[in-house]
Amino acid sequence: MSNDSTIHVHEGAVEHGVHHDGDGHHHHKQSFVSKYIFSQDHKTIAKQFLITGMAWAIVGAMFSIIFRLQIGYPDQTFPFLETFLGKWAKGGKIDPEFYYAAVTMHGTIMVFFVLTAGLSGTFANLLIPLQIGARDMASPFLNMLSYWFFFLASIIMVSSLFLSTGAHSGGWTTYPPLSALHEASSGSKRGVDFWLVSMAMFIVSQLMGGLNYVSTILNMRTKGMSMTRLPLTIWALFFTAVLGILSFPVLLSAAILLLFDRNLGTSFYLSDIYVAGQILPNEGGSPILYQHLFWFLGHPEVYIVILPTMGMVSEIMSINSRKPIFGYMAMVGSLFAICILALLVWAHHMFVSGMNPFLGGVFVLLTLLIAIPSAIKVFNWLTTIWRGNIRFTPAMLFCIGFVSIFISGGLTGIWMGNSTIDIHIHDTYFIIAHFHLVMGVAAFLGMFAGIYHWFPKMFGRYLNNTLGYIHFWVTLTGAYLIFWPMHYMGLAGVPRRYLDFSLWTSFNKFDSLNKMISIVTIIVFFVNLMFVFNFFYSIFKGRKVRTTNPWDATTLEWTTPINPGHGNWVGEIPEVHRWAYDYGKDGRDFIAQTEPVKPGETGH
């Protein structure tokens, strides 16, 4: 069946869209616009999210290159920067305002546009219908809208970079009063309004996507696909969507109230403020209210970023170890526990905001509790690969790298979750080191694993393995070289978001370390550009997939044609008889979920 034919489903009957019949009439021929731009096919929408996310990842990484040049070489000039940035880098020196805008945009882009939209948008769209046995999402139209709202948010965000006063420069957390007063700095002018409107659009996109994912998983599973037979990827995407639905509206309200404070003279976050000796009329607001609203999303957000990768890693590890996943129900239970606890720990970001120490103690307890489900997952991953017949595909290597980074980055969270120690390391490089490893690098490694693994399903071709291995080893060692030393800088008290440490004798000893980090950052950036080349080259010129099930996996997406059309399966949707992890069972390498359970066999 050709890739571009369409399928219409009427009361269980399946009609194949035919391009022309004997008398030359054309039926259901989709135009380029309806097939690739305003597509309602979940697989195409997944590709749109992925490619948009990749474009954003390059932009976000370029910002990090710009500020790493500044931190590593504060006294040097880089004339090429003036070519690119104009007045923001006069004479090749980065303007301090622009430095802060670069840090802000880097954080915003990476957290929201790449690791939230790029990750969930891609894999929830691609895998949910394929793995549960559905023709498409519950609402394909809403699905299309969720992508275009994300695209619109992207356009608004990127256009803020071209404002004469510059992009928003108050940090990705956008704390008032800096973000609430136009006169606070040039980066607090129109750029913040653009940022807030863009984030509002983005949140609408995420809510449309999330509601779609949840309703599809709950209502559209094929016959026999009970919840306990779902692959762990689907469970993870389900909990991710639930977290987003519960927490994103709170950020939306925070953003709208901030827009009111900025433009309508309200005082939700402002009180008793002097600017250049002038008393502002605002009274009765509290900037701490904004912190509560922001972090009520901001903390679940880090799990919205990491949960999808946990699901994908579980699945890819099981497939490439040729063993059933260890502790399936414990894995589902720990995903659920993380989902609940993620909503109860937000104020650990606010230990230094002057909160009641007793309340701080409550949040310390809840924060340390979340280590338990995370540890369960780690032990289950290690037990899954233990004595497995491991195939070291690029996807599998990225999974192993993910577990390594997740352990080493996660351990430092125990320090930060302790309110007493946090007072010392708050807003230092220690914080940067921790969250970049756990939700930045780990999430990217999981995302890469997913791309290498499901690329054959998306495009009917393989990525180049040799480039994949180079990509993995440079990225993993680079990540450790970049972020591990930052822990020591943080313990020494080096503050984050500063553009020049050369005036502090106490921090001068880190000059050579900062140079090393900057150099490694640039190397890793170029190797990831090589991955982007591999990606686009392989879409057109990669080795073709010859079999519907290239990885010998058990799940439903490998029962569709190599290039599935809109509707996924030709004919009936297969029925499911067993769980997703029958590997190495009854003397067989793997048994597909669609194979009936024989009498006397133990089926899940």
Q: What is the pLDDT of residues 76-135, one digit of tens each?
A: 999 999 999 999 999 999 999 999 999 999 999 999 999 999 999 999 999 999 999 999
CA dihedral over 575, 581, 583, 586, signed as positive or negative: negative
Which domain range does residue 411 map to? 40-590
SS3 220: coil
Residue 207 inside a domain? The answer is yes
Provide the token pair at 598.
Answer: 């024989």
Do residues 209 and 139 touch, judged by C-beta distance below 8 A?
no
What is the residue whose two structure tokens read 């910002």?
Answer: 63
Report the chain's mean pLDDT, rounded to a whole number: 92
What letter would DSSP give residue 35? I
State pLDDT tens for residues 266-325: 999 999 999 888 899 989 999 999 999 999 999 999 999 999 999 999 999 999 999 999
Q: Give mean pLDDT, residues 539-565.
A: 95
Residue 17 inside a domain? The answer is no
What is the residue whose two structure tokens read 């009957």?
Answer: 13
What letter would DSSP give residue 221? P
The DSSP string of 371-435 is: HHHHHHHHHHHHHHHTT------HHHHHHHHHHHHHHHHHHHHHHHTSHHHHHHHTTBHHHHHHH
Query: Which of the two residues, 277 and 240, has the higher pLDDT score?
Result: 240
The total of other beta-carbon atoms located within 10 Å of residue 182's CB is 15
State pLDDT tens for residues 405-448: 999 999 999 999 999 999 999 999 999 999 999 999 999 999 99
Q: Of 280, 63, 248, 295, which is closest to residue 157 (Cα–Cα)?
A: 63
Q: Give mean pLDDT, residues 486-498.
A: 95
pLDDT at 469: 98
Q: Exposed, middle or buried: residue 379 (CB in 10 Å: 0-12, 13-18, 19+)?
A: middle
Does pTM top 0.85 for this prediction? yes
Residue 345 inside a domain? The answer is yes
The total of other beta-carbon atoms located within 10 Å of residue 76's CB is 10
The answer, yes or no, to whether residue 146 has pLDDT greater than 90, is: yes
Residue 53 inside a domain? The answer is yes
Residue 559 inside a domain? The answer is yes
The answer, yes or no, to whether residue 601 has pLDDT greater than 90, is: no
Query: Which of the two residues, 502 and 431, has the higher pLDDT score?
Result: 431
Residue 602 inside a domain? The answer is no
Domain count, the chain: 1
SS3 16: strand
Amino acid at 50: L
Backbone angles phi, psi at 176, to 5 degrees: -75, 165
Q: Choose the weakest-confidence range: 5-19, 341-355, 533-547, 555-569.
A: 5-19
pLDDT at 358: 93
Q: Of 164, 198, 196, which is closest to residue 263 (Cα–Cα)?
A: 196
Provide the token pair at 156.
Answer: 């608004």
State pLDDT tens for residues 172-219: 999 999 999 999 888 999 999 999 999 999 999 999 999 999 999 999
What is the residue whose two structure tokens read 């096919």?
Answer: 41
pLDDT at 74: 93
The answer, yes or no, to whether residue 25 has pLDDT greater than 80, is: no
Percentage with pLDDT > 70 across the chain:
95
pLDDT at 593: 94
What letter would DSSP give residue 570? S
Domain CATH number, residue 384: 1.20.210.10
Residue 255 inside a domain? The answer is yes
Residue 451 inside a domain? The answer is yes
The answer, yes or no, to whether residue 3 has pLDDT greater than 50, is: no
CA distance 318 to 384: 6
